[in-house]
Amino acid sequence: MGTADRPTPPPAATPRPRPRLATPITVALVLLPLALLLGVLRLGSALYEAPAAAVSAAAGHTGGALPRLLLALPVVLLACRAGAALCRRIGQPPVVGEIAVGVLLGPTLLGAVCPQAQSWLFPAQLAPCTDILGQLGLLSFMFLVGLELDLKALRGSGRTAVAVSQAGMVVPLLCGALLALGMYPSLAPDGVAYLPFALFLAVSMSITAFPVLARILADKGLTGTRLGTLALACAAVDDVTAWCLLALVVAVGQSGSPLDALWTALLTVGFAALMLTVVRPLLARLAARAARRGAPRGPGVLIALFAGLCLAALVTDRIGVHAVFGAFLFGVVTPRGSIEVERAAERLHSVAVPLLLPLFFVHTGLRADFGVLGADASAWLWCGAVLAAAVLGKWGGSTAAARLSGQGPRDALSLGALMNCRGVTELVVINIGLDLGLIGPELFTMLVLMALATTAMTAPAVSALLRRRGGDGHDGHGAERLPDPELRTPVGV
């Protein structure tokens, strides 16, 4: 059992060259140049005996807005996420939680309980940044709403939808104008004429939130039913009408003379016509050609869509109606059906909206202060009046219109309840009103509360109506599925 028994080393079966590296070589390889390096550094230090002054210019540079944003962004995102999760658990659409969190992070709760925390979390220097980020999220969102708005889906129930929606908008417009008649002396900002104030309030009463509605319908399993399809079609018509009315209001509110307003309105109509008649076929042809050449790899389509929505938003902003109108319009004219466009939209939807839109809710929440209403009984009365006018006008008006156009009573009531959902669209509208100075912070707060309340009441109301309908069997085929719903996944929120 001597040296002879020692097993021979196995032959290197693999042709892979083993690294000949020995530890001493590594050490030498690293240490030698390292020693040289230290020598050179020492030599240089000796040569240029500069005072070892701190690079004082540095401290201010890496400071600034970035660290503030790196704190505020996660706080906002996580808080909104928590609010959304809570709402989903209690059967509410997540957007209710996100709007509520935005309000709670503002002067209403955080600012009232701990003003230092609020000004530390959202310092004034940060506002331009978060506002811009929120606006980019909002523009992406509005683009997706426009893209979602498949005008073809209107064909089936087009006439009824247009009738219900238009009639269902005129009643809340009337309610808003009546409300403005009473409110104007006490709640209109100084220097605002009655006409823009009343027009704005009227439009803000008549809003339906298309995306939140789609979400609620999906949650209730109504997507593709007759009621669901009709509601979506009505909401789509509502959306288009509301944006056109808003464009008009902004034109009236922003330009001094009626001539200017007319000019703005003309430009807007011209731009919309250009988008629909020239840009839409052009984009469709481009998309068809791209599809023939094979799907392009990489983020090209996403970049093209994002650039397009920015440019369209820029045009409408320059015209004098709001940037969101352009983004929405670009969504409407973007050709559907291509896988690449679907994928780019899905990506925008799954990244830009969840990461950026919460900043818009916070932007809104920071401007709303329920503390202002707190002391004043008449303010709360007005707040109640706003809510009542909104609910009666939209729910009542839509129900009446639906009933007159031949829907059963329960279906008409359900349709009215769905149309009463205001969601993000309402927030966009009232932020524009505040930006334009058409309403003051007090009325803004009331309208935020109204938006929150009408959005939150939709899902329970529809649930209750559907449950009762199951019993009386009056219109049982309301939940019958259409053969080809032609409905895409809702934009969500």
The footprint of its own copies on residues 407-436 (CB under 8 A) is: 407-408, 435-436
Under 8 Å CB-to-CB from 84, ≥6 apart: which residues? 94, 95, 97, 98
Continuous segment of H or E residues that includes residue 410: helix 409-419
Cα dihedral value 285, 146, 342, 427, nearest 10: 150
Residue 460 or 476 with smaller CB distance to its own copies? 476
- Alpha-helical regions (H) of 275-369: 280-292, 300-319, 323-333, 339-347, 353-367
- Residue 459 Cβ, how far from its own copies at the closest point, in Å? 17
**Helix (H/G/I), strand (E/B), else coil: 21:** coil
Q: Find the part of the chain contacting its own copies (CB under 8 A) among 165-173, 360-368, 419-427, 460-468.
A: 165-173
Q: Is 479 in the site for its own copies (CB under 8 A)?
A: no
CB of 174 to its own copies, least distance (A): 5
Binding mask 429-468 toward its own copies (x if CB under 8 A, else -) reads ------xxxx------------------------------
| Closest separation in Å from C-beta 132 to its own copies | 5
User: Closest distance between its own copies and the C-beta of residue 18, in Å?
Assistant: 7
**351 is a contact residue toward its own copies (CB under 8 A):** yes
Site for its own copies in 96-135 (CB under 8 A): 128-129, 132-133, 135
Which of 127-131's residues contact partners 24+ apart within 8 Å by CB, and which partners? Answer: 129/65, 129/69, 130/69, 130/72, 130/359, 130/362, 130/363, 131/359, 131/363
CB of 147 to its own copies, least distance (A): 16
Of 361 and 370, nearer to its own copies (C-beta) is 361
The single residue among 4, 89, 477, 484 that binds its own copies, judged by CB under 8 A, is 477
Contact range with its own copies by CB under 8 A, out of 110-118, 299-307, 361-369, 443-451: 299-307
* Angle at the Cα of 222 from the Cα atoms of 220 and 224, rounded to 5 degrees: 150
DSSP sequence for 316-339: HHHHTS-HHHHHHHHHHHS--S-H
Residues between 319 and 338 with contacts to its own copies, criterion CB under 8 A: 322-323
Give the nearest distance from C-beta 152 to its own copies in angstroms: 19
428's CB contacts (< 8 A; 6+ apart) are 138, 142, 324
CA 485 vs CA 115, 226, 343: distances in Å: 51, 9, 21
Binding mask 216-245 for its own copies (x = CB under 8 A): ----------x-------------------
Q: What 3-state DSSP class applies to 262? A: helix
Select 160 or 458, whichever has its Cβ closest to its own copies: 160
Number of residues that bind its own copies (CB under 8 A): 119
Stretch that binds its own copies, among 10-18, 287-295, 369-377, 445-453 (CB under 8 A): 10-18
Q: Considering the rule CB under 8 A, would residue 289 count as an interface residue with its own copies? A: no
Residue 372: CB atoms within 10 Å:
17
71 contacts its own copies (rule: CB under 8 A): yes
The DSSP-derived string for 182-230 is HHHHHHSPTT--HHHHHHHHHHHHS---HHHHHHHHHHTT-TTBHHHHH
Least distance (Å) between residue 133 CB and its own copies: 8
Site residues (CB under 8 A) for its own copies, limited to 361-400:
397
Candidate list 4, 12, 55, 375; residue touching its own copies; CB under 8 A: 55
Closest approach of Cβ 145 to its own copies, in Å?
17
Which of these segments, 143-151, 208-216, 268-276, 315-323, binds its own copies (CB under 8 A)? 315-323
What mask, x for binding its own copies by CB under 8 A, covers residues 247 to 286?
------xxxxx-----------------------------
Contact 71, 331 (CB under 8 A): no
Angle between helices 409-419 and 154-187 (to 10 degrees): 60
171 binds its own copies (CB under 8 A): yes
Structure tokens at 131: 């506002």
Reference 429, options 408, 451, 412; nearest CA is 451
CB 390 within 8 A of CB 454: yes
Cβ atoms within 10 Å of 166's Cβ, excluding its own: 14
Main-chain dihedrals φ then ψ at residue 11, nearest 5 degrees? -65, 145
Kindly state whether residue 73 participates in binding its own copies, applying the rule CB under 8 A. Answer: yes
Q: Which stretch binds its own copies (CB under 8 A): 4-12, 111-119, 195-203, 278-286?
A: 195-203
Give yes or no for residue 306 binding its own copies (CB under 8 A): yes
Q: Which residue has the tokens 């309908």?
A: 469
